[in-house]
Every structure is written in C-alpha cells, then in structure tokens.
Structure 1
Amino acid sequence: MDGLFARERAVVAPGAVHVPGWLSLDRQRELVAACREWGRGPVPYRHTVLPGGGVMSVRSLCLGRRWVPYRYLDTVDVELPGWLGELGREAVTEAYGDGQGFSPDTALVNFYDAGAGARMGLHQDKEERSGAPVVSLSLGDRCVFRFGNTETRGKPYTDVELASGDLFVFGGPSRLAYHGVPKVLPGTADPALGLTGRLNITLRETGLWRDAASARA
C-alpha cells in the first residue's frame, strides 16, 4: 500500500495486465540475492552492444537460452532455474486465470544503475517464435514503464509506474506491443530491500526448443 490507498490491478491494454505488489518483500529479497549470485557466474552483467554500434545503458545477463541483438543462440551460459520458470507460470495464472502452458526457456535480467540514467528505448520482443506471453517482474527503484501499440513507437501509449514487487504480463493482442522504460526514479526503493537501482526480470518462451525437438524427431 502506498499512502492511504492501495494501487489497483489494471488491464492496460487487451492482454496486458499490471498487478501491483504481487511479490512479497521476502520474495523480492530472494530474487535480489539470486540476481547478485547470477552476476558472479561465468557471464557477469554487461552493456549490450547493438549491431549499429550503440551501447545499451542498462547492464544485462541471460538465463537459459542466450539472447543477443536480435536473435537467440543455441548456447546457455547460465541455466534458467526451475523455480524461476515456476514463478513465471504462477505469474501468468495471476494475470489470466490459468498458466496457459507457459514454459519459459529464457530470462533477461536488466539492471538500471540509479546514478547512470539507465533507461530502455521503445522496442518489441519479437525474436520469439512462441506467441506465449511475456512476464516482467520489477525490483528496486520505481520506473515509468511506457506501454505502446503494435504498429509504431509513437502514440498511442500508456505510461505506468512500476514499483518493486510489481508484475506486468503482456500477451495476446498486446504481445508485440512496443514498450520501454524512459525514466527510473532514483532512491524510491524500500531500504529494506538492500538494492540501489532497479532490476527487471523478463521471462519468455522462445518456441525454439520445439523446433529443435522436431528436427531430431
């Protein structure tokens, strides 16, 4: 609860659901600890270099099938934990009433440095062959999350404030909507979380494992 009133669950667009405060503080702490541990693994958080030479301001790492702009590789540097996949299924159930067979095989963990002005430009998650929804979990500082339309980076779009513990799921008609983070609000995280900056965990089902299974059959 923020102030006197709880933030309300909202359907931002068809298939796009915002559930404020879905993660308890204890669960948030567990996820922050896991994110730190993953960063100590074989591939640390790093700034992604785009094909045109630009460098993303967020630092990222992949769990499960590795993503590079703008495709998935057949390599896995850090395994996607089974418990995180299960959390993703719980998230889809929370948003839509059932898990819809959601079986994520990749997760992108993005760190927004509070002092570096990190942000994320409007983009589509369109490298996946699966039409399964995307699950987004927020930790740490609040941000402005801009959720747009499927045709253009411009208007119409809706700005949603995401706080630590919030869940955002988008699928169905909104699966290919442009979205991004134009602003992070430094110093807005609960000090009890022990995190400076913002972490975002995005779970996806690539659909590529089905292709690989078919090729072996």
Structure 2
Amino acid sequence: MTDFPEPAESRPDPVEIRGFLHFPGWLDLQEQREMVADLRAVAATAPLFSPMTPYGRPMSVRMTSAGRFGWVSDRRGYRYSETHPEGLPWPAIPHSILSVWRTVSGSARMPECCLVNFYDDHARMGMHQDRDEADFTQPVVSISLGDDALFRIGNETRGGRTQSLWLRSGDVLVMGGAARLLYHGVDRIAPGSSTLLPNGGRINLTLRVVT
C-alpha cells in the first residue's frame, strides 16, 4: 500500500486545546478503512491481548503494538518490550500510519512504537502521563478510529482543572511541547457512534519515539 498523499487544502487546520493539537476529521472514510485493514494484518501477527496492571487487575482495553517496541504490562510493571507476550517480534508499523506521523508530528525521527488499543463499549483509560520514553522533546501522535471517545486533558500533576473533548473517527491528536507531559485519559466510549468497525468499538493508535 502506498502512503497517503500530503495534506491538501481540504485537510483541516489543527485546533489547539491546552497545548494539544487536534486535527478533526484528518482521515477520510477510505483512508480509515485502509488503515483498519492494515491493523487487521498487524493483529494477525501480534494478537490483541488483555494486559494485567502491576496491581493484579486486568486493564479494560485490549492491545497490541507495531514497530521496534511494543508496550506491555504485568506484575513486573509497565514497560516497552521488543517482543510480544507470546515471544515474537512486533510487526512493522504500516505505511498508512507512518504517513500520518510524517505529516503532523514535526519530528525528524520516525516512531519506534505504534501502540494499538481497542476499546469496547465499557473500556476506559485512567488519567496518566506518557513518560516511559527517553526523549520528551519527541511528540506523541494519536489516531482515532471507530466509535467516539470522550478524551480528558489534565495538568502536569494530578488534580486541578481538566478539559474534555470528543475524539471521532479519523481525528488525529498531537501531544508535544508544553503538553507532552500533561495527564490525559479516556472517560467513556459512545457505542454505535461510528459504523467503521463492523462489531463496534474504538481503535486508538499512539505513535511514539521510545529511545
């Protein structure tokens, strides 16, 4: 599959929300469908799994990864790993996903991890910071596919005023600069708000430079 074209005039301008750059509707429906097909190939090589937190509780999302590194969690803690829990290397990040990074990230480096999170109707993601990477000057790029998600943005420490926005299928979000270490999470999913995934749910991709 070839890369998506560079953004044309029809591509949306970003909206800044507490330092996050939100590109609503960045991917059109055909691009979303092609990306989902690429992700099915990723999951065929590196199956989705339900990670366990270090506290012994299962996370509500299922996940897998692509790239040099994947993200795993178990009793040993949260960390990056070069192998899937079944022991195999992660598959390469699809070109359709890398093209989004090239266009919106502003980084000269390429992502080393594409974390794939699948949310069903009841899945959530608690407020957290992305700080397991070595270089915080590198952004995190998020791509939303499928059902809408209520995304919450916090502060550099827990607590305080937060702001929420709905992320819809095809949206892209860039977390960099002063927003790189802000707490953030997903409060809920809106079931049936998208027909992209035949059985419903939401896929969220986060692209990161790890080293």
Establish whether TM, by shorter chain, passes 0.5: yes
Q: CA deviation at 1:83?
A: 4.5
Q: CA RMSD in A?
A: 1.8
What's the TM-score once normalised by structure 1's chain length? 0.81
Q: CA deviation at 1:8?
A: 7.9
Cα separation, 1, equivalents of 2:199 and 2:135: 33
What's the TM-score once normalised by structure 2's chain length? 0.83
1:87 aligns with 2:100: yes
Q: Give percent identity, aligned residues only.
A: 42
196, 202, 205: which one aligns with 1:198: 202
For structure 1, which segment, 24-33 or 76-85, has the greater mean C-alpha deviation from structure 2 after superposition?
76-85
1:12-41 residue CA offsets vs partner (Å, 9 max, x unmatched): 113x11110001111000111112221111
3-state secondary structure, aligned to 1:139: strand
More helix, by proportion: 1
Runs of 4+ with deviation above 3 angstroms = 192-195
CA 1:79–1:192 in 2, change beyond 3 Å: closer, same or farther? closer
Look up the match of 2:72.
Answer: 68
CA contact (8 A) 2:145 2:196 kept: no
1:113 aligns with 2:120: yes
3-state secondary structure, aligned to 1:57: coil
Name structure 2 gaps, 5 residues minimum.
1-11, 84-88
Name structure 1 gaps, 5 residues minimum.
1-6, 93-98, 208-217
Q: CA deviation at 1:102?
A: 3.6
Cα separation, 2, equivalents of 1:184 and 1:37: 25
Q: CA deviation at 1:192?
A: 5.6
- For these two proteins, the number of residue pairs brought into alignment is 189
CA 1:82–1:148 in 2, change beyond 3 Å: closer, same or farther? same
124, 127, 130: which one aligns with 1:122: 127
Look up the match of 2:6.
Answer: none
3-state secondary structure, aligned to 1:46: coil
CA contact (8 A) 1:133 1:170 kept: yes
